[in-house]
Structure 1
Amino acid sequence: MEYQHLLYQVDKHIAYITINRASALNALNQQTLTELEATLLEAKKDHDVKGIIITGAGEKAFVAGADIKEFVDLSEAEAKLLSQKGHYIFTELIEQSPKPVIAAINGFALGGGLELALACHMRFASANAKLGLPEVSLGLLPGYGGTQRLTQLVGRGRALQMILTADLISAEEGLRIGLINEVLDAADLMNRVEEVLERIFSRSGTAVTAAIDAVNASNEQTRDGYQVEINHFAELFVTRDFKEGVDAFLTKRKPNF
């Protein structure tokens, strides 16, 4: 499939998804959301893909929000559908992805762009990145899960400060409050994210998938995260990976997962 607003490639078990609207600071219009959904589904079903990196084209922006021009004529019902679509993509296809998804934040991550990053399992940022949820300055609030995920990551007080003031923060401040995993020079960003994924790939894939699910369950009201952990812990004991991992440990060799 050809994409208008995204670049998609797979190399060494990594699916690279690049939001490719640099002239619009990679703003998420509805077509881009649709293409993002398609690429995530493609990566999910591709057995060669073990992990996903999402980034933005150019040197200025990861994703500088939604495309506000598209908001002007939306009815209440249409706005609700748009929010539901964003929630589906960010929750079902990114947050709940059985394969690790990392955001490589290479510039502005604002509004829907920060919400996209928040949905990823980890966030690595270049030192020049700026982060924020400025929706209240437009008479809106974050609509793709930002009110929930930001609160889970940084706590209620800091989340409310960011959302209610609409102020931007630096990558270093994002690191300090737990929003960002690591801050790097722009030239080192992608190499570091690839390095982290390669480390994950060296571990048991079945255990990685189970761990993602157990951590996700900690924030869900419909599942008891402790019970999910217990169930996965027991299930992994009968897997090939467990037997291989234990044998490798006991014989002092690298496991072959």
Structure 2
Amino acid sequence: MNFETVKLREQPGVLYVTLSNPPINLMNGTMIRELFQLSGFLMQRKDLKVVVIDSADPDFFIAHFDLDELEAGLSDPAMAGRYPDMNAVQALALNWQNLPQITIGKIDGRVRGGGLDLALAFDMRLASQSSLFCFPAASGHFLACGGGTTRMLLAAGPGRE
């Protein structure tokens, strides 16, 4: 598989996925389509037990969804595939959440918006001390729509007194 925004390196039982969409690793339609293709590939690769996802950019795991493509990308039915009632980011996160492999996000730098929605769908997230996590929807006065707010609550667990 040749991808534009995703680089793959395979070792026995492990697939290393490096996200690379310079200059700041924006999530865009191309990255979403490639990650959908990769999730389909992974569903058929039972020999792969672990998928480790990192970024080629030390400052940005995924900056956020490319705002120039936001409206078109989130409503593109071709990207949502079998989930027609969901936007592309929600459907992508659900695909990755349901992979048979253990998915590990190796996060260094900023992860925001759609990137955080995706990272929260991984089984584990390991972050450097310099990592920054952000939901820009709250300060941008728009609805967070990738499913990350729900996943964040589930990852944090119930409050205890």
- What is the number of residues matched between the two proteins? 153
Aligned residue in 2 for 1:84? 87
Alpha-carbon deviations, 1:194-246, whole Å to 9, x = none? xxxxxxxxxxxxxxxxxxxxxxxxxxxxxxxxxxxxxxxxxxxxxxxxxxxxx
Whether contact under 8 Å (2:15, 2:50) holds in the other structure is yes
The offset of 1:59, in angstroms, is 1.0
Mapped to 1, the partners of 2:43 and 2:9 lie a distance apart of: 13
Q: Which amino acid aligns with 2:41?
A: E
Distance 1:36 1:79, change over 3 A: closer
Structure 1 position 12, deviation (Å): 2.4
- The aligned residue for residue 16 of structure 2 is 16
CA, structure 1 residues 60+97, in 2 after alignment: closer, same or farther (shift >3 Å)?
same
Equivalent residue number for residue 83 of structure 2: none
User: Residues 74 and 41 of structure 1: is their aligned pair in 2 closer, same or farther, counting only changes over 3 Å?
Assistant: closer
1:206-245 map, 5 Å:
none
TM-score by length of 1: 0.54
Larger strand fraction of residues = 2
Query: For 1:146 and 1:79, how far apart are their aligned partners in 2?
Result: 20
Larger Rg: 1
Write out aligned runs for 1:104-123 (5 A).
104-123=106-125
C-alpha deviation, 1:58, in angstroms: 2.0
Aligned partners of 2:109, 2:139: CA distance in 1, in Å?
Answer: 21
- For the residues of structure 2 that align with 1:128 and 1:38, how far apart are their CA atoms? 31
Partner deviation per Cα, 1:77-125 (whole Å, 9 max, x = no partner): 937976522222211x211212111111011011111111100001100
- For structure 2, the residue ranges without an aligned partner over 5 or more in a row are 81-85
Alpha-carbon distance change, 16 to 155 in structure 1, aligned in 2, over 3 angstroms:
same
Conservation of the 8 A alpha-carbon contact between 1:111 and 1:132 = yes
Verify the 8 A CA contact 1:17 1:39 in the aligned structure 2: no
For 2:47 and 2:151, how far apart are their aligned partners in 1?
Answer: 29
Distance 1:28 1:140 in 2: 18
State the distance in 2 between where 1:108 and 1:156 align.
Answer: 26
Question: What pairs with 1:161-240 in structure 2 (closer than 5 Å)?
Answer: none
In structure 1, distance between residues paired with 2:144 and 2:8: 27
Q: Determine the structure 1 residue equivalent to 2:100.
A: 98
Q: Does 1:56 align with 2:55?
A: yes
Q: Percent identity among equivalent residues?
A: 26
Contact 2:14–2:50 (Cα < 8 Å) also in 1: yes
Asked whether the equivalents of residues 25 and 60 of structure 2 are also in contact (C-alpha less than 8 Å), the reply is yes
Corresponding residue SS for 2:87 = helix
CA contact (8 A) 2:58 2:108 kept: yes
More helix by share: 1
Aligned to 2:147: 145
Distance 2:16 2:143 in 1: 29
